[in-house]
Structure formats: structure tokens, C-alpha cells
Amino acid sequence: MNIVIVYKNIKNRWGSLSKDATINLNIHLIKAPVDVIDYVILHELCHFKIKGHSFRFWNYLKQFVPDYEQKKKWLEYNTSNLLSS
């Protein structure tokens, strides 16, 4: 399987996984710290195994990003700054 990562000007999310195995990332994410970018990419990669955001999904993601909740909160707190600069 070939995975393609594309940066786009997305207004309402940081990343998504399409049916053709393309990971779409918000172009503004490039302004975030590397560990936060890694979290978003790993989040999308985990969707290859588990669709949706069930308890099972978050437990699976936690195996790769044990502090994912901090990364998620960082994005929530800094969204307006990232999107406006």
C-alpha cells in the first residue's frame, strides 16, 4: 500500500484519512511543534486500523503517543494562533 501525505488549506480539522490512503494535513499544522505534527500523523495512521474515534481507537493511539491528550489540548488551545498567522 502506498500512503500519500498531502498538505491542504483545511478550515475545520488538522488531518483526515481518505479512502484512497491519502493523509490530508492542514497546511497550518507546519507551524506547530514537531511532536504535535507527529501526533496528528500518527492519529491518522491509526485510522488505517480503527475507523472513527471510539474508546478502542484512543487506546490504540495511546500505544504510540502516550501523551496524546496533551497534544490534543495544545492544538485546541493554539488553533486560532496557528490559523491566523
User: The domain spanning residue 73 has which CATH number?
Assistant: 3.30.2010.10
Would you tell me how many other CB atoms lie within 10 Å of the CB of residue 26? Answer: 23
Q: What is the mean pLDDT of residues 13-40?
A: 95
Number of domains making up the chain: 1
Q: How many angstroms separate the CA atoms of 70 and 76, rounded?
A: 10
Record the pTM: 0.91
For residue 11, what pLDDT is reported? 82
User: Running DSSP on this structure, what letter comes out for residue 49?
Assistant: T
Helices and strands (H, E) in the chain, number of each type: 3, 3
Confidence at residue 23, expressed as pLDDT on a 0 to 100 scale: 95
Structural domain that includes position 28:
4-84
Residue 38 contacts residue 61 (beta carbons within 8 Å): no
Q: Are 51 and 59 in contact (CB under 8 A)?
A: no
